[in-house]
Amino acid sequence: MIKIRVPATSANMGPGFDSLGVALNLYNIFGFREIDNGLSFNGVPEEFCNEDNIVYKAMMKCFSKAGYKPKGIEISTLKQDIPVSRGLGSSSSCIVGGLVGANEILGKKFSQDEILEMAVEIEGHPDNVAPALLGNMVVAVTEEKKIYYQKINVNEKIKFIPIIPNFKLSTNEARKVLPSEISLNDGVYNVGRASLLVAAISNGNLELLKHACKDAFHEKYRSSLISGFYEVKEEIYKAQGLASYLSGAGPTIMALSLNQDREFKVKIQEFLKLKSLDWNVFELSVDKLGAIVLEGDEECKEIFL
């Protein structure tokens, strides 16, 4: 069996709508095997055990591009730690996992950049799939179907604290509340802050992150879909958080704090309990590897459903 581990991602980082994302050390692990015939699933909810499964569709795109038709495919979910429809890249992990798994079956026919281009064709934008595949923080844009990207080294003083609501929010639903056009003022606002964010997060100018993570493109529209959004954001700064932003399409709110701050997570958990908000809080760091093929045995257990 081929085992592929794919990290969670946090996209739309602050002002980086559809262009900035970071890989985090929370993982899904998929298993793949070519079989004699048919399509088989293990550890996958019954509603997804069909040809509409996003992992399978990604695999078939890769096979089709290679001109290869497998006799049959077995897909296994060996570990599912990335929460579904919470803004942490669960769909992107499936897309990247399926493409990399298929490419392994093909004997590594396609390069990493070719896999990335296929992933963006499926996803529609690169901010989640790029860090899921490549690791680290990634700036990525699409031009004439080609992906241009740069990996950014995140300063080691920073840790990521996803504050995860107990409800799902689909990307399609979150897209519907966005305006079809933005003003020049909003465009200038985000361009400046996106540039500042990349510089500050790589150079370690941490006092700038609070200002650099502000957004005018999507947070003010999507916040209406997330009860308690502004209360949680305000508490992040009261607890000495460095910055905050809506992760992906939401509903997860991502906070950045100092690695040495051992009290931040506790303060946020206490606040959530006080407000009767049944949300989860994790402490995560940057995954620098992206999607990898696992060798040998790997412990596979769920920590989040």
Question: Residue 86 annotated as binding?
Answer: yes
Question: Residue 91 annotated as binding?
Answer: yes
Question: Residue 87 annotated as binding?
Answer: yes
Question: Residue 45 annotated as binding?
Answer: no
- 3-state SS record for the chain: CEEEEEEEEEECCCCCCCCEEEEEEEEEEEEEEEECCEEEEECCCHHHCCCCCHHHHHHHHHHHHHCCCCCEEEEEEEEECCCCCCCCCHHHHHHHHHHHHHHHHCCCCCCHHHHHHHHHHHHCCCCCHHHHHHCCEEEEEEECCEEEEEEECCCCCEEEEEEECCCCCCHHHHHHCCCCCCCHHHHHHHHHHHHHHHHHHHHCCHHHHHHHCCCCCCHHHHHHHCCCHHHHHHHHHHCCCCEEEECCCCCCEEEEEECCCCCHHHHHHHHHHHCCCCCEECCECECCCCCEEECCCCCCCCCCC
- Give the tokens for residue 115: 């896999």
Question: Residue 244 annotated as binding?
Answer: no
Question: Residue 85 annotated as binding?
Answer: yes
- Give the tokens for residue 11: 């996209």
Question: Residue 88 annotated as binding?
Answer: yes
Question: Residue 84 annotated as binding?
Answer: yes
- Annotated binding residues: 83-93
- Annotated binding residues for ATP: 83-93
